[in-house]
Amino acid sequence: MNEFINFDEISRTTWQNLYKTSIAPLTRDELDAIRSLNDEISLQDVTDVYLPLVHLVRLYKKNLEDMSFSKGLFLQKIVKTPPLIIGISGSVAVGKSTTARLMQLLLSRAFSKLKIDLVTTDGFLFPTAELQRRGMLDRKGFPESYDMERLIQFLYDTKNGLKTSVPIYSHETYDILENQSQEIDCPDILIIEGINVLQNQQNQNLYISDFYDFSIYVDADESLIEKWYLERFNSLLDLAQDDPKNFYHQFTKMPFDEVLTLARGTWEKVNAVNLHQYIEPTRNRAEIILHKSENHVIDKIYLKKF
């Protein structure tokens, strides 16, 4: 069976003509500021791919508002429109963080009067000490290493218009930062990004998928993702060279061939396994799949039919 049977495949050329504009609402410097390490993106990508995507999100936002209004008429009371929640998922190193930050910036320009927040699910990882206590430090990034109850509660509170907070994860220390949090105060649109965003975790009464109004999966051939992962690993080593507090600093003291072997082993034993077993199987739950080719160029878009 065709794995994309419930999607319309749209070429980049066709997609860019769905929303005509010649001006990207940001500068090259602004784009560089939100680009993740070793990711590639251009102003042409913004115009061709992301502006039509933002226009599609606008339609979903209008639909959410209309439904809330109609529900209020039916119930004969005022029903406040809940925040639109956008989930963005994909493999490690595929560039989903850049997509999330770019969507936040473009949506902020498109909806200048609305509050647009961005949260990463890294903040819901159990702290290193807790992972060690549970004997699953080598499973970091797998579903069981996340406090999914807390993530579901966060999404529930946000949908209900409550002020919430999210722990902050540091990629430099490779751990949750103690006594620090990101405050989320009733956003109009919430973007939540992470490898586990579309995984169908649940508590006794709620599925995590209950909360998303729109979702994006950033995709690429596995060989490319592995290449990007190794390139990013090397860049992280360069950044950690003179910072003993950085998690990656310990690897800068090792011979390069040993470090490369370690990075490849981490990909094969951790990231590739996680991709095959838990991340990629969620791809068809997304409303949109952005498929990347060489140099992170988006060549195809898949839009869910129904």
Q: Which residues does the annotation place in the binding site for ATP? A: 90-97
Of 152, 180, 146, 148, nearest to 166 by C-alpha is 180
The residues, ordered by sequence, that sit 6+ positions from 128 with a Cβ below 8 Å of its Cβ are 137, 174, 175, 176
The residues, ordered by sequence, that sit 6+ positions from 92 with a Cβ below 8 Å of its Cβ are 141, 195, 225, 229, 271, 274, 275
- Residues placed in the known binding site: 90-97
Per-residue buried b or exposed e for 235-265, using 16+ beta carbons within 10 Å of the residue's own CB: ebbeebeeeeebbbbebbeeeeeebeeebee
Contact 40, 298 (CB under 8 A): no
> Which residue is associated with the tokens 């105060």?
185
Query: Which pair of structure tokens corresponds to residue 215?
Result: 């979702």
| Neighbouring C-beta atoms of residue 64, cutoff 10 Å | 18
Q: Tell me the residue type at 1.
A: M
